[in-house]
Structure 1
Amino acid sequence: MSGTECLARLRADAAALSPRAAHIALALLPAVDHLPDAWKAGLRKTLAHRAGATPPLPPNEFDAIRVAAASLPHAYPEWVATDPEHPKARALIVDAWEAAQRYRSGPLQRNA
């Protein structure tokens, strides 16, 4: 799968999230520090569009998730891990993390 195809799949998955899950995924996105800039921008745009349908997470929740994202996938505050939308958001971010790992390793074509 090319980088462009991979990004398209990730963006489609992001667009399918609930608005709350999209907010959580936005907060987790910094955890994928090795994600190519174009992919990160594309995912951020899709998630922001999807999340825009509802009020955002309270700033303290969003910041707590961003801080927890630094230790992805291990140390989340309990209230984040038990949020019913969290598994969907986390799955998207883990998929992005794994795709970026494959991209950096070379199997994907670098045309994203």
Structure 2
Amino acid sequence: MTTTRNGTESLARLRADAAALSPRAAHIALALMPAVDHLPDAWKAGLQKTLAHRAGAAAPLSPLEFDAIRVTAASLPHAYPEWVVTDPEHPKARALIVHAWKEAERHRLGAGRPGA
């Protein structure tokens, strides 16, 4: 039996994944958000809220680190960047953003805009 997730279920799953990140990975994921610029506003707001809450538990990235990640992500908004960030938390943050990117693409190309 094949099941498909609607936008609400997809966002709930993404938020659960975001809440499971370490605080540092949540900071990195926040910096990577420009890579999923085509996410609907409701999804973006939900993910950013969850990530900001999770990231609040630790010291933030330095402004230089955050800007470097953000600028790199923003430079390639339509093809998810595969750059290397030398941080053990980066793969977890990257996986969340890749998943969000793919879910948004799936909904955009399939059943219309995600969200409810």
Q: TM-score, normalised by structure 2?
A: 0.87
Quote the residue 1:40 is aligned against. Answer: 44
Give 1:81-96 correspondences, 5 Å limit: 82-96=86-100
Would you say the 8 A contact 2:104–2:114 is kept in 1?
A: no
- 1:43 and 1:31, CA in 2 relative to 1: closer, same or farther beyond 3 A? same
- 1:65 and 1:109, CA in 2 relative to 1: closer, same or farther beyond 3 A? closer
- 1:108 and 1:8, CA in 2 relative to 1: closer, same or farther beyond 3 A? farther
State how many pairs are aligned. Answer: 108
Quote the residue 1:26 is aligned against. Answer: 30
Q: 7, 17, 22: which one pairs with 2:21? A: 17
- 1:110 and 1:24, CA in 2 relative to 1: closer, same or farther beyond 3 A? closer
Stretches (4+) displaced over 3 A: 107-111
Q: CA deviation at 1:32?
A: 0.5
Question: Is 1:61 aligned with 2:61?
Answer: no
- Aligned partners of 1:94, 1:88: CA distance in 2, in Å? 10
Identity of aligned residues (%): 76
Query: Which letter maps to 2:66?
Result: F
**Larger proportion of helix:** 1
Question: Is 1:100 aligned with 2:104?
Answer: yes
| C-alpha distance after superposition, 1:76-102 (max 9, x if no partner) | 3x4x2x210000000000000000001
RMSD over aligned Cα atoms:
1.5
Listed as ranges, the gaps of 5+ residues in structure 2 are none
- Aligned partners of 1:8, 1:69: CA distance in 2, in Å? 24
